[in-house]
């Protein structure tokens, strides 16, 4: 899959842009997110049940989570490498088929291998595959929403963050309910295995269909973003604040769990409490869709504070039987807020796959670190409370510094961006270059076809109603007048870089 730099600031590039219309894409993107979340949760329950009774079962949990995070990072690195070494369509298709085949083989191993220790490599390969495919899914979702948001084709005038609220909120809630139902009804049966493999195959197929735009077209898109960033583009400091906020939210969970342990409460992943994950996803999704980023951020802060109060109250007074349910509701809300925020920020960065999936990496690594700390020894309740309050304070500061709590008006960064000179469109840059180089009207039409599409010469000639020889004559004249020799050179000339 060809991974290129994306920006939301660019303008429509005709046939070069392959994102679907958002009116039809929202259900598809929601299904895509839901499918991956279902597979991600299934990976955990599958490996836990497959290794039930084994002495190394708990250790495998930590290794599996680390491998899952490595899968997200591996795809991000692969996407970056693909910029310089793009695969052909055939090679990409073969890679997809081989990946699905390997995944199916690992699922089969989980079903049949004896002794259970022989299943460990299969568990880790499945986790790696789910992580890598997740990074691809989050990248596709982020870029599709950002593209259509810039085209103002979102329903009811919503922005990209609000659309992501529906995708993540609804998709996550559906995945939780579906996975719980299948787990209860099918356990580790062959039907569940078939659903798992079929779901992964569909996931790979969908991500292959949602191909990014080509490199040459992207170079044109960057013309608009080089001079100034969009008011929605987070600065480096904003991204750091987002990372800190997400890390603080996920770091709270080991301390919540420690508070619950003080009274013997257990947040079992295999009890009905787990369904409250769907509640958390839905609450943040609704807040994001109707209120935007500020409403979602305030909601997650309130949820975190409320969960802390209830956890401490339970530890001291033992009066809250729903503490475990609240634990999972907050976890669902945290996952939803982090997913929406990072995918919303991904399209403004040179490595969208890395940014879009960073929340999953943070979730895995931070919660693993916190869990390991608690494994070493039980912490006193007052220490747990002090650590939780400190994390909440840092969380609030990060959100304030990052501008996540601004309900109306513009942030200082947005106000500065709005005062900048309007960014020229690609069409305006074409007219400017034509004027500078003395291109004729016909040559200007040919120039537009060369830089705004990835069409071959014969297709361009057919669209312009001329022969291929005539087109070549026009192209030669354009190269001579602009002092270039390739289509990429024309793009650089328009950007003023040559």
Reported as a single tens digit per residue, the pLDDT across 34-79 is: 999 988 887 776 666 666 555 444 677 778 888 989 999 999 898 8
So what's the pLDDT on residue 12?
A: 34
Give the CATH number of the domain where residue 439 resides: 1.10.10.10
Asked if 279 and 191 sit in the same domain, the reply is yes
Residue where one domain finishes, among candidates 409, 443, 467: 409
In a domain, 230, yes or no: no
CATH code where residue 196 lies: 1.20.1250.20
Q: What is the pLDDT of residues 322-377, one digit of tens each?
A: 677 788 888 899 999 999 999 988 877 778 888 988 999 998 888 777 666 665 55
Q: Half-sphere exposure of 65 toward its Cβ, with a 13 Å CA cutoff?
A: 19
Q: Is residue 415 part of a domain?
A: no
Tell me, yes or no, whether 464 and 337 share the same domain. Answer: no
pTM check: above 0.85: no
Question: Looking at residue 260, what is its pLDDT?
Answer: 64
Of 16 and 480, more confident: 480
Q: Are residues 477 and 443 in the same domain?
A: yes
Last residue of a domain, one of 383, 409, 435: 409
Last residue of a domain, one of 351, 384, 409: 409
266 shares its domain with 154: yes
The owner of tokens 């009066």 is 319
Q: What pLDDT, in 10s, does the model give residues 218-259?
A: 443 444 344 334 334 456 788 889 999 999 888 887 767 766
At 22 the pLDDT is: 43
Same domain, residue pair 445 and 305: no
pLDDT given at position 168: 93
Domain holding 462, by residue range, is 426-494
Q: What is the pLDDT of residues 418-454, one digit of tens each?
A: 444 556 777 778 888 888 888 888 888 888 888 888 7
Is the peptide bond preceding residue 115 cis, with omega within 30 degrees of 0? yes
């Amino acid at each position: 899959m060809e991974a290129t730099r994306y920006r939301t600031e660019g303008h429509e590039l005709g046939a070069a842009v392959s994102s679907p219309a958002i009116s039809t894409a929202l259900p598809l993107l929601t299904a895509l997110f839901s499918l991956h979340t279902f597979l991600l949760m299934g990976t955990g329950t599958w490996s836990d049940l497959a290794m039930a009774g084994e002495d190394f079962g708990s250790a495998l949990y930590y290794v599996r989570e680390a491998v899952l995070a490595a899968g997200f990072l591996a795809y991000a690195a692969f996407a970056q490498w693909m910029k310089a070494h793009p695969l052909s369509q055939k090679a990409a298709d073969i890679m997809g088929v081989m990946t699905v085949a390997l995944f199916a083989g690992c699922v089969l191993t989980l079903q049949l291998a004896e002794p259970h220790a022989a299943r460990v490599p299969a568990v880790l390969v499945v986790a790696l595959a789910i992580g890598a495919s997740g990074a691809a899914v989050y990248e596709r979702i982020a870029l599709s929403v950002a593209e259509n948001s810039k085209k103002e084709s979102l329903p009811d005038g919503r922005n990209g963050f609000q659309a992501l609220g529906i995708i993540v909120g609804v998709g996550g809630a559906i995945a939780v309910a579906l996975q719980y139902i299948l787990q209860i009804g099918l356990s580790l049966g062959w039907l569940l295995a078939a659903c798992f493999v079929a779901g992964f195959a569909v996931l790979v197929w969908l991500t292959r269909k949602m191909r990014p735009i080509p490199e040459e077209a992207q170079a044109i898109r960057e013309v608009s973003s080089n001079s100034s960033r969009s008011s929605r583009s987070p600065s480096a400091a904003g991204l750091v604040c987002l990372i800190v906020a997400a890390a603080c939210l996920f770091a709270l969970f080991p301390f919540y769990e420690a508070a619950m342990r003080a009274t013997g409460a257990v947040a079992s992943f295999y009890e009905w409490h787990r369904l409250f994950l769907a509640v958390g996803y839905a609450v943040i999704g609704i807040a994001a869709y109707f209120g935007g980023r500020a409403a979602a951020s305030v909601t997650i802060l309130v949820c975190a504070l409320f969960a802390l109060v209830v956890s401490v109250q339970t530890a001291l007074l033992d009066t809250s039987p729903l503490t475990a349910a609240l634990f999972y509701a907050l976890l669902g809300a945290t996952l939803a807020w982090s997913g929406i925020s990072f995918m919303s920020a991904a399209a403004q960065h040179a490595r969208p796959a890395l940014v879009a999936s960073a929340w999953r990496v943070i979730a895995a690594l931070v919660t693993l670190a916190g869990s390991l700390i608690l494994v070493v020894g039980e912490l006193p309740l007052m220490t747990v409370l002090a650590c939780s309050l400190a994390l909440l304070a840092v969380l609030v500061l990060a959100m304030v510094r990052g501008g996540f709590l601004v309900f109306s008006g513009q942030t200082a960064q947005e106000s500065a961006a709005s005062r900048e000179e309007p960014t020229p469109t690609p069409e305006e840059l074409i007219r400017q270059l034509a004027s500078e180089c003395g291109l004729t009207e016909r040559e200007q039409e040919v120039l537009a076809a060369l830089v705004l599409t990835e069409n071959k010469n014969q297709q361009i000639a057919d669209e312009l109603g001329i022969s291929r020889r005539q087109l070549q004559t026009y192209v030669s004249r354009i190269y001579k007048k602009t002092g270039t020799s390739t289509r990429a050179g024309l793009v650089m000339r328009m950007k003023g870089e040559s």
